[in-house]
Amino acid sequence: MNKSRDTQYHKLVKKLISTERTELLKSVFEPLKPVEIANILLQLKLQHQLVVLENLERETSSEVLNNLQDSPSILGDIVKQLSPDRLSDAITDMPQDDAADFVGLLDDEDASALLERLPEKDREELTYLLQYDEESAGGLMTPYVVAIRKDQTVAAAVKEIQKFIKKEGLELFYTAYVVDEYDHLIGTIGTTELLLAERNTLIENLMNHEVVAVDQDLDQEEVARIAKEYDLVVVPVIDKHLRLIGRVTLDDLVDVIVEEHNEDLGHIAGTGDEEVTETSVLRASGDRLPWLLVGLFGGFLTAIVMSFYENALVSLPDVTYFIPLVAALGGSIGIQSSSIVVRGLATGAIQTTDMLVRLWKELRVAFLNGIICSFILAGMSWYLTHDLGRAFTSGISLLIVVCFAATVGSTIPIILKRMNIDPALATGPFITTTSDIIGIAIYLGFAFNVSFSSLLSS
């Protein structure tokens, strides 16, 4: 839709900035939505980004800044260059939950300086939201929520909503929450239902008693899982006393889901926290280097293992031919098992108590595929060496490696999860490295010992 447009625009914008035609620049951005402007900014250099932001209306520029939150490193660079006034304006313009996230991106010192500059009401509300962990339901929620008492009539409820909206400003909402006299959340009522109901019906008789709510401290990933499971568009948030304190909307949860997705891919692909929009080569290298060092270290251990077999390798060089194959297959099987287990742990389909059940399943799957691969490897080995005994030993050793890799791949994520470490860490370089080292050790040990004995007996 607007993909190719972004590309055209960012070239045009560069030209307009370098030739200082700011009036034309303004008119180019005039018809665009903030999210579209934000997408164009992602393609520009910092100094150009700042020129664009200066030339936008105050409200538009605040919304653009808000939309840049998906690319925190780019936003961070921009924020460092903005005047304190511009920043506090932006914060005031944003919805509270976004403003809290925005302030959360700043250094502690900058953040408190910024809070000082805000009007008292905004400061108080933000301070209230900032007390929650950014990745919890509390950190994600907006505290503006319409609570209707169960003993009100529809007409009174509508008046309440009107009053609320007049005071807090109109923000779209779809569900009103019903509370008892102690502010306990006891039901929900859709605005559509309110719209269609008789004016003097009691809310109590209209409301939906089934209500799914989340605790303020629940992790955002869990909140997203619950919203998906129950098909909720808005999730109410309650405190420890079961009192309604806010709501999380599904569009914020979609951001959470996408964020977690990128985090998973970052773990499995070894790119860490790197953002797709990252333009700094230095920062991208830094995010990726740790994963490479893991592989490097593993490679060094593998080299040491191989050096133990120096004499054997010289007398039977063709055993080495299949080392990359054994390493690759062991790694693949390990990653297959671990990624299924990690996904299952994330969705709740696999429990940490299921380790043996899961291990047994993964072992059977790996064994089945291992048998097929081992036969093929034996065939290849025979083709290259014309030595049936050695073909047989390579096949068997591959099967052992494969079963070992499945064991590692299916148990390590569960063990990590039990230790409260993110199990997704075990899907990428860690699993491949482990199965490389031990897989090659198994392969060499097995191949040489059995080959030798068959050589001796012949």
Q: Which residue, 273, 355, 301, is CA-closest to 71?
A: 273
Interface residue with a copy of itself, options 111, 113, 269, 396 (CB under 8 A): 269
Between 88 and 433, name the residue whose CB sits nearer to a copy of itself: 433
Long-range contact set of residues 358-363: C-beta below 8 Å, sequence gap at least 24: 358/410, 358/414, 359/407, 359/410, 359/411, 361/410, 362/337, 362/406, 362/407, 362/409, 362/410, 363/403, 363/406, 363/407, 363/410
- Which are the contacts of 88, defined by CB distance < 8 A and separation ≥ 6? 114, 117, 118
Backbone angles phi, psi at 431, to 5 degrees: -65, -45
Q: Rounded to whole angstroms, how far apart are CA atoms 334 and 427?
A: 8
Tell me how far, at minimum, the Cβ of 139 lies from a copy of itself, in Å. 18
Give SS3 for 247.
strand
Q: Rule CB under 8 A: say whether 421 interacts with a copy of itself.
A: no
Per-residue contact string for residues 91-130; x = within reach of a copy of itself by CB under 8 A: ----------------------------------------
Q: Rule CB under 8 A: say whether 29 interacts with a copy of itself.
A: no
Does residue 401 contact residue 442 with C-beta atoms inside 8 Å?
Answer: yes
Estimate the crossing angle of helix 3-18 against helix 22-29, to 10 degrees: 160
Tell me how far, at minimum, the Cβ of 390 lies from a copy of itself, in Å. 13
Between 54 and 171, name the residue whose CB sits nearer to a copy of itself: 171
Between 114 and 327, name the residue whose CB sits nearer to a copy of itself: 327
Structure tokens at 54: 């200066």
Piece of the chain touching a copy of itself by CB under 8 A; list 46-54, 102-110, 123-131, 364-372: 364-372
Q: Rule CB under 8 A: say whether 281 interacts with a copy of itself.
A: yes
Does residue 186 contact residue 140 with C-beta atoms inside 8 Å?
Answer: no
Interacting positions 303-362 with a copy of itself (CB under 8 A): 303-304, 306-307, 310, 313-314, 317-318, 320-329, 331-333, 335-336, 338-340, 343-344, 347-351, 353-354, 361
Tell me how far, at minimum, the Cβ of 217 lies from a copy of itself, in Å. 13
Interacting positions 196-255 with a copy of itself (CB under 8 A): 196, 210, 222, 226-233, 249-251, 253-255
Interface residue with a copy of itself, options 23, 59, 151, 376 (CB under 8 A): 376
Between 276 and 415, name the residue whose CB sits nearer to a copy of itself: 276
